[in-house]
Each structure stands twice: as structure tokens, then as C-alpha cells.
Amino acid sequence: MLHGPDPTDILAEEAEAAAQLRQRLAVDQWPLSIDHLPADAALVGGAVRDGLLDRLADRPDLDLVVAEDAIELCRRLARRHGGSCVVLDEQRSIARLVLRGWTVDLARRCGTDLASDLRRRDYTINAIALPLEAGASLLDPTGGLADLRQRQLVAVSEANLLDDPLRLLRGVRLAAELEFRLSATTRRWLAAHHHRLASVACERVLTELEKLAAAPAGHRGLITAMELQLLQPWQADAAGAARLTGLDEEGAVARGLNREERGWALPLARLAALLDGGAVARLHGSRRLQQRCERLNRWRVALEARSAGKGCGSLKTLQEPERLRLHQELEEALPALLLLLPEATARQAMERWHDPHDPLFHPRPPIDGRQLQELLAIPAGPRLGELLAFLTRERAYQRLPEASQQSTSGLDPQSAAAAEPIVQLARKWWQQAEAGEEGRRAADRRHD
């Protein structure tokens, strides 16, 4: 939701903005004293922007611009304060100081002065500087303060976007994080150069996509990225926009997801709405993310196929073996799939998923394989795996004696007593399996 300018915000009084921003930044709590920085040092980037919007993290990442060699400065500061110096770009003299849980990036400014450096940046709201010299005013050569007031994202220039094409996608992500609108000109530039994003390292694109998917308005941001054709090289399904529409905070709350679950399930569901496992692989995503997206999409398609094209229906439409396999494959990620289901259906499923002892939503065999080997004197092998799968299914659908429904993990008297009906059932299954195998072998001998 877009918001109008807040007259109580410090942006309303530019003359006092620098002083109030310093208070919000709590400079005296930084991990190093500004007295140990060059006199021309200036804070730039996200910390300035977020401070003006009053959305600073407890330990914001600090981006400082200096006139001198930033790498050498970083090394001196690391020695003095006991931190670590990480060189990020030797050619452009950019280094990172890691100190007591803080991250401080130092960069040698580009151009003849600070204003020239700011004019090289991506978006106007990121091109505002706070010189650390006492009493200095904010430097805003591109009109970023006005754009913050209007809650709009404006590119500094078309050429700046093309200096690093990842800035095309970053603009959509920033708009989604801040719930800003893209200016008409910026939107036109992003669309005109959408093909340039394919030249960016895949890992950087995926990182930006994951941030976009996690943004408060990430579902709308991803739809915008689709409309601008930014995701064309990787997008798996053009119908993804329709699925994204309902993947918002309100819908997740209505389906019973708590704050922590919404924090990971919404981004995952949004990514899976656009990318299948193959697309994630092309973006060099982790095997875990590939598998999650592949499974979420496969089960979404399975549920849609059983609802006559009316979206995802109930999990109850699946046959027993299929339903069990769904819960085995998606046990940890199930809330991401439930976000696509009708509210009442999803809420009921979430209630069961929240119960760690639910035998279907958290399928486990009622007894482990080693216990079975010991109690039945049977060998390890494929048949033991089949037996465990049978017992897991019987437990999932509550067809075991009530006292045996909970998994047993030891051979103490109480566990042994609870396990006895399971052992008897397992012994019967094993004997039948052996008899069946012997019958097949006898038939083969007669055939020979």
C-alpha cells in the first residue's frame, strides 16, 4: 500500500534533517569513533535512506565514502579496533570492516568530489550523503529527498542503470521493500533494457530475486518484474502472476501461518510460483532450493489436476499412497504449498502440521529399522525398507493399535510393550513377503 508524505517526518524539514538523522543513526554507538575517520568521510546509501524513512535496523550496514585509499584505511581501522578487513574490489578501492557484529563498507569516492560520486549511483534515494563533519548538511544532488517524500523510485540516469544491469532488478526489489512506486521514466528504462539482466552473474540475480521475494510487497514486485520481462530468461511459467496475486501477508495470516512461518514460507512460495527446479539450477541455486521448488510445483500441478482447473483443491483429493508421499517430500516446506489452498482448507491443515506428533503430517515409522532387525532377526536390505514404508503408512492413517501409534525409540519395558503389536504386524508382513518371494521362485523353476 502506498502512503502519502508524513508531515511529522524529518523529511518535511530539510534544514533539520541532517541533525535528526544523526540522532536516529546513534553515531555514538557505532563500533568506531568518527574521530578516527578522515574529515571528508561521508555516510551514503541504505543507512541514510533508511534513517530518513525511520526504518533502521539495530545495527545498520554502514557505507562510507572517503577521498583516500579506502583499503589502506580499512586495514588501519582493523588494526586499531581489532576487526577484520575484507578487500571487496582492489581496483576501485573498496573494503569491508567487520567489527563487533557490525559491517562497515569503505569506498574511495569516484569523481572529483562527493556530489560527482553520488551522481554515479543507481537511484536518487540512494544518492543522498551525510557528511560526518559536525554541522554538515545533507548532500542531495539528484533530488532523492523529494522522491523519498513522494515515495517514488527514480533512476539517476539510464546510463547508470546499464553500468551494472543488476540495478534493473534491484529497482523493482527496492520498490517492493519500501512499497514505493516506480516513476514512469524509470519503468520505461527497466523495460527497454530487460535483456541486459541476462549478462549478470546468475548468483547475483538469484540473491536479488530472493530479497525481492522476501519483501513486504514481494508478490507485487515479482509481478512487476514479469511485466517488465526482467525474468524472461529464467521464468518457468507465464501463469505464475496469477498465483502470486494471493501470496501476501494477509492471506498467510488467514491460513494460520505464524510470523516465523510467514517469514520463510511466503518467499519460498513466491519463488516457486515463477521458478521450477530447472530454473533455480540455471541460476546456480542450492540443491535444497532446487528440490523445494521442484517439489512444490509438482504437487501444485497434482492438486490442480484434481480440482478441474479451479486452482489447488484439498489435500484429501489425493489417494492414500500419494498423500503420504506428499507429506514425506514436503514435510518441512508444507506451509508454502498451503498458501495456494483455500483459506479454510489450509487453516485446518496448518493446525495438523503444527502438531509434531501428527502421524500423517509428520510421517515416521513406529519403530526404527535396527529394532526390527534385532527383534525379527532379519537382514538389512530393500525388503526392510519396504517393511518400514508399510508401517509408516499404517501409522500415518492410524491403523495401528492406539498404544502403538507413537514412534518407539528404545527397548525399555514400556516401549517394548507398546512395540509388541507392531512387531507382530511386521513379522506377519515379513512372512507373507517371504512366502510370496518363494512362490515366485518356484514358478520360475517350473517355467524353466
Cα 186 vs. chain centroid, distance in angstroms? 26
How far is it, in rounded angstroms, from Cα 291 to Cα 412? 39
- Do 441 and 305 lie in a common domain? no
pLDDT at 138 over 90: yes
- Do 5 and 134 lie in a common domain? yes
- Do 137 and 40 lie in a common domain? yes
pLDDT-derived band at 176, boundaries 50, 70, 90: very high
Q: Is residue 166 part of a domain?
A: no
Percent of the chain scored above 70 by pLDDT? 90
How far is it, in rounded angstroms, from Cα 317 to Cα 114? 63
| Total domains present in the chain | 3
How far is it, in rounded angstroms, from Cα 157 to Cα 124? 9
pLDDT-derived band at 8, boundaries 50, 70, 90: very low
State the pLDDT at residue 235: 77
Residue tagged 506428499 (cell numbers): 326
Structure-block grid coordinates of residue 315: 489435500
Mean pLDDT of 148-153: 97
Q: Is residue 18 part of a domain?
A: yes
- Do 338 and 402 lie in a common domain? no
pLDDT-derived band at 16, boundaries 50, 70, 90: confident
User: Letter for the amino acid at 100?
Assistant: R
State the pLDDT at residue 443: 72
- How many alpha carbons fall within 13 Å on the CB side of residue 166? 12
State the pLDDT at residue 438: 77
Q: Is residue 253 part of a domain?
A: no
Range(s) of the domain holding residue 441: 369-447
Q: Is residue 270 part of a domain?
A: no
State the pLDDT at residue 2: 45
pLDDT at 156 over 80: yes
- Do 341 and 395 lie in a common domain? no
Tell which wins on pLDDT, 32 or 2.
32
State the pLDDT at residue 14: 66
Q: Is residue 197 part of a domain?
A: no
How far is it, in rounded angstroms, from Cα 445 to Cα 448? 5
- Do 343 and 401 lie in a common domain? no
Q: Is residue 9 part of a domain?
A: yes
pLDDT at 175 over 80: yes
pLDDT at 306 over 70: yes
- Do 387 and 334 lie in a common domain? no
How far is it, in rounded angstroms, from Cα 206 to Cα 212? 10
DSSP per residue over 182-241, as a string?
A: EPHHHHHHHHHTGGGGGGS-HHHHHHHHHHHHHSTTHHHHHHHHHHTTTTTTT---TTHH
Asked if 96 contacts 104 with a C-beta cutoff of 8 angstroms, the reply is: yes
- Do 373 and 424 lie in a common domain? yes
State the pLDDT at residue 448: 62
**CATH number reported for the structural domain that contains residue 115 in this entry:** 3.30.460.10
Q: Which residues contact 215 (CB under 8 A, 6 or more apart)?
A: 173, 176, 177, 221
Task: Please report how the helices 202-214 and 166-178 are oriented relative to each other, as an axis angle in degrees rounded to 10.
Answer: 10
Q: Is residue 288 part of a domain?
A: no
Last residue of a domain, one of 121, 150, 179: 150
Last residue of a domain, one of 117, 133, 150: 150
Radius of gyration of the chain (CA): 29
Mean pLDDT of 213-235: 93
How far is it, in rounded angstroms, from Cα 230 to Cα 191? 7
- Do 344 and 297 lie in a common domain? yes
Of the chain, the end-to-end C-alpha distance in Å amounts to 76
- How many alpha carbons fall within 13 Å on the CB side of residue 331? 15
- Do 72 and 96 lie in a common domain? yes
Question: What 3-state DSSP class applies to 129?
Answer: strand
Question: What 3-state DSSP class applies to 272?
Answer: helix
Question: What pTM was estimated for this model as a whole?
Answer: 0.87
Q: Is residue 157 part of a domain?
A: no
- Do 5 and 138 lie in a common domain? yes
pLDDT-derived band at 401, boundaries 50, 70, 90: confident
- Do 309 and 387 lie in a common domain? no
State the pLDDT at residue 1: 43
Q: Which of 119-123, 416-420, 440-444 is modeled with the greatest confidence?
A: 119-123
pLDDT tens-place string over residues 364-377: 999 989 999 999 99
CA quadruple 97, 102, 105, 106: dihedral positive or negative? negative
